């Protein structure tokens, strides 16, 4: 059987009905349950779920960074459903997507500061991954090494996305990215090539910490003169950030 690359891990917050709210809509406003339930999701769960999915991406990205190329016979993506009470310990895989449940109390999570949230997210990510690994007999030492590397990095996900030398070869521009739990920050850093001396550092954008929001901005890094460099949006060429040394 041909192996597949594990491309992503996702922590999700499956919808939990607010039965009291739904019953009030049915009894007081005469709504049918099929209409009341989607309204409950939109009003009481949707934003919570979006925020959680934004916050977990920095730890997922950092873990996958240290894991590197990890191939399996079963799945290209693990979906870890964070639930108050585990409904099943079975691992479900369909069409390259694997789902697993871990116990998670969202109310307690929300009270944590950002650093404590990162630690809890890593623990739940690793708990879910190990459950899947145990079922499919994966290489657990590799998974543990990535987990330990995240801890040793102090949960910081920072990297240079791209570098480019100026036409004169005098300067180097780089996009330095900081993927935090509550934001994604991209900074243009320009240094001299010979001495590596900092010439300029300028924040280009601060975005939601989810790839759907920030990846589109990382299109192309381009010098337009010996002293001016721009970052172009991937899809909208009219959207760009220009930094000048002068």
Domains of the chain, residue spans: 4-152, 157-244
Give the residue among 100, 92, 101 at the shortest CA–CA distance from 74: 92
Q: What is the pLDDT of residue 33?
A: 85
Q: What is the pLDDT of residue 1?
A: 61
Is 219 in contact with 233 (CB distance < 8 Å)? yes
**Would you write out the chain's pLDDT as a tens digit for each of its 246 residues?**
678 999 999 999 999 988 888 888 888 878 788 888 888 889 899 999 999 999 999 999 999 999 999 999 999 999 999 999 998 888 999 999 999 999 999 999 999 999 999 999 999 999 999 999 999 999 999 999 999 999 999 999 999 999 999 999 999 999 999 999 999 999 999 999 999 999 999 999 999 999 999 999 999 999 999 999 999 999 987 899 999 998
pLDDT in tens, 136-158: 999 999 999 999 999 999 999 99
- Residue 12: both structure tokens together: 């999700």
Q: What is the pLDDT of residue 213?
A: 96
- Residue 99: both structure tokens together: 């789902």
Q: What is the pLDDT of residue 34?
A: 82
Give the CA angle between residues 187, 65, 10 to the nearest 5°.
100
Is 91 in contact with 100 (CB distance < 8 Å)? yes
Strand 171-179 relative to strand 184-192: parallel, antiparallel, unpaired? antiparallel
Q: Which residue has the tokens 């290209």?
A: 76
- Total Cβ atoms within 10 A of residue 9: 22
Is 243 in contact with 189 (CB distance < 8 Å)? no
Using CA atoms, how far apart are residues 244 and 39, in angstroms rounded to an integer? 49
Q: What is the CA radius of gyration of the chain?
A: 22
Q: What pTM did the predictor assign?
A: 0.92
DSSP 172: E
- Total Cβ atoms within 10 A of residue 93: 17
Q: What is the pLDDT of residue 190?
A: 98
């Amino acid at each position: 059987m041909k192996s597949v690359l594990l491309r992503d891990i996702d922590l999700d917050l499956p919808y939990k009905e607010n039965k009291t709210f739904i019953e009030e809509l049915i009894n007081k406003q005469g709504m049918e349950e099929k209409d009341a339930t989607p309204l409950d999701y939109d009003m009481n769960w949707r934003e919570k779920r979006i925020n959680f999915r934004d916050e977990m991406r920095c730890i997922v990205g950092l873990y996958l960074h240290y894991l590197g190329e990890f191939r399996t016979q079963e799945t290209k993506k693990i979906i870890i459903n964070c639930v108050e009470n585990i409904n099943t310990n079975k691992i479900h895989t369909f069409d390259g997507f694997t789902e697993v449940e871990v116990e998670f109390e969202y109310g307690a999570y929300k009270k944590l500061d950002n650093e404590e949230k990162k630690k809890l997210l890593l623990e739940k990510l690793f708990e879910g991954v190990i459950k899947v690994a145990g079922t499919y007999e994966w290489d657990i030492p590799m998974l543990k090494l990535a987990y330990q590397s995240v801890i040793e990095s102090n949960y910081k996900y920072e990297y240079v996305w791209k570098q480019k030398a100026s036409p004169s070869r005098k300067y180097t521009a780089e996009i330095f990215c900081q993927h935090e739990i509550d934001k994604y920050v991209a900074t243009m850093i320009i240094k001299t090539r010979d001495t590596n001396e900092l010439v300029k550092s300028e924040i280009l954008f601060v975005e939601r910490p989810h790839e759907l929001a920030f990846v589109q901005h990382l299109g192309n890094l381009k010098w337009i003169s010996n002293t001016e460099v721009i970052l172009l949006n991937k899809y909208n060429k009219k959207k760009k950030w220009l930094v000048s040394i002068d």
